[in-house]
Amino acid sequence: MTIAQDDTRTESEAATVTTMTMAAALNRALADAIESDPDVVVFGEDVGALGGVFRITDGLTARFGEERCFDTPLAESGIVGTAVGMAMNGLRPVVEMQFDAFALPAFEQVVSHVAKLGNRTRGGMRMPLVIRIPFGGGIGGVEHHCDSSEAYYAHTPGLTVVSPSTPQDAYSLLRAAITSPDPVVFLEPKKLYWAKGEVDTSVTADLGTARIAREGSDVTLLAYGSSVPLALDVADVAAAEGRSVQVVDVRSLSPFDDATVTAAVKSTGRAVVIAEAPGYVSVASEIQARVFERCFEYLAAPVRRVTGFDTPYAPPKLEHWYLPDVDRVLDAIDTLHWEDDA
């Protein structure tokens, strides 16, 4: 069974600018990486003939053969453990965890081996491994099929953790992740797989950098993954109300781009952090703390957070109550001591 809405296959050609979905951009990035580097291998549950639950690997096995893109048993710990051995022996494995919560059986491998091997060998053995994880909600998935587990990975030293919010970043960041000599956890927002945008395959991205998604002067919204389009929607509504909202796409959860985020918040003096995950001990709370530490004397009001609730992920019929929305973010903006500017 597949959850994909359409065929995502793309042909690998010379660099072009094309409108495509995020799913298609990821597919193109994998195809281009396999084609350009004989050491790249892609594997995971149902990624071969089926093309993955979300069709991200659609057509790769038919095009490149089972030695380059192949199915595995339903054993996440074995998938990551096999990838560790491959990376230790010179390959560049790209593995897919079928759903976010499905990755948890492999968490011991990730923490004990993937993240630590470079440090354990004092850089003598690197770990060029990418772990792709569809994450977050917005698709009406049942329990174990929608989760926001980014804090576990961002808290683990030795891992680079990134999440795209546009098809362009999906392509560019995945290409950068695959060429990295160190392990990358690549979080793909399921809600955005079918969002469309222009992709220039000649554009590169640096891991560990944020980007300004929209300029503004009154308040800065800090978001990543599927929360970035929400932040942009908030900015549109706020503009109609006379407020200029800046949006920063954090992109990299670890390492964190303090320079870009700090400069953005200093320029407006107000900030709201938006994330789907529960707020307690979260990436959102870390962002909030870092902004407080670096921007305190520039702030006109406390930094607010709008997150998921501190409960297990909501079932499909209640999901819309769980996820942050425009009204909740606007309410947070309204609390930012605007009377001080009067």
Is 217 strand, coil or helix? coil
Question: What digits encode the pLDDT tens for the residues 142-201?
Answer: 778 888 999 999 999 999 999 999 999 999 999 999 999 999 999 999 999 999 999 999
The mean per-residue pLDDT over the stretch 262-283 comes to 97
* Architecture in CATH of 17-200: 3-Layer(aba) Sandwich (3.40)
Q: Tell me the pLDDT band of 1, cut-offs 50, 70 and 90.
A: very low
Whole-model pTM: value is: 0.93
145, 155, 320, 337: the active-site residue: 145
Domain limits, CATH 3.40.50.920, in the chain = 211-335
* pLDDT given at position 16: 80
CA 169/CA 289 separation, integer angstroms: 26
* CATH class for the domain made up of 211-335: alpha beta
Q: Using N-to-C axis directions, what is the helix angle for 22-36 and 167-179, rounded to 10°?
A: 30
| CB-count exposure of residue 85 (10 Å: 0-12, 13-18, 19+) | exposed
Q: Could you tell me if 247 and 237 are in contact, meaning their C-beta atoms sit under 8 angstroms apart?
A: no
Pinpoint the residues of the chain covered by CATH 3.40.50.970: 17-200
Q: For position 328, what pLDDT does the model report? A: 97
Residues 224 and 162: their CA atoms lie apart, in Å, by: 9
pLDDT digits (tens, 9 = 90+) for 213-258: 999 999 999 999 999 999 999 999 999 999 999 999 999 999 999 9
Known catalytic residue at 145 = yes
pLDDT(14) > 80: no
pLDDT tens profile 32-64: 999 999 999 999 999 999 999 999 999 999 999
Q: How far apart are CA 335 and CA 342, in angstroms?
A: 15
The pLDDT of residue 146 is 86
